[in-house]
Structure 1
């Protein structure tokens, strides 16, 4: 939900309840530009951990032919792209043997 700061002041308690109990995120704007947000305590903790460099992205599920399956938290997120410098590529470059 996006709302102007001036209006948010009038319904602040309602906005907090929507975040806490409804799982919503509230984006506060001033003159049409985003200036702040109201997020849950869990999201705030995650943001703090990201900023402190204490978050490691992990693959929680993979999609197999038979649907999602659980993967242990210790499995790191695989790299989905590879840098290829401009120009001609050597044979087999970027392919797994």
Structure 2
């Protein structure tokens, strides 16, 4: 399983994938999940402060031998991680 986690404005964000699906978790709760393909986008909104809402997006991109996970807040990348992977093929 591949995971990328970050705390953003007091909110715990995580995007993860296994060989079957990708998931976006916010404060430990699954907010979006989808069957894995070569490129997926998972989105949700979250209140990060009093009267402040953010559009959170997690992306999972798979290429032969490589998986890239990224997290965005309001279309600005806040975290990214590349993994070497030979386990799964789409």
TM category, shorter: under 0.3
Which one has the largest radius of gyration? 1
Greater relative contact order structure (CA < 8 Å, 6+ sep)? 2
Higher helix share: 1
Higher strand share: 2
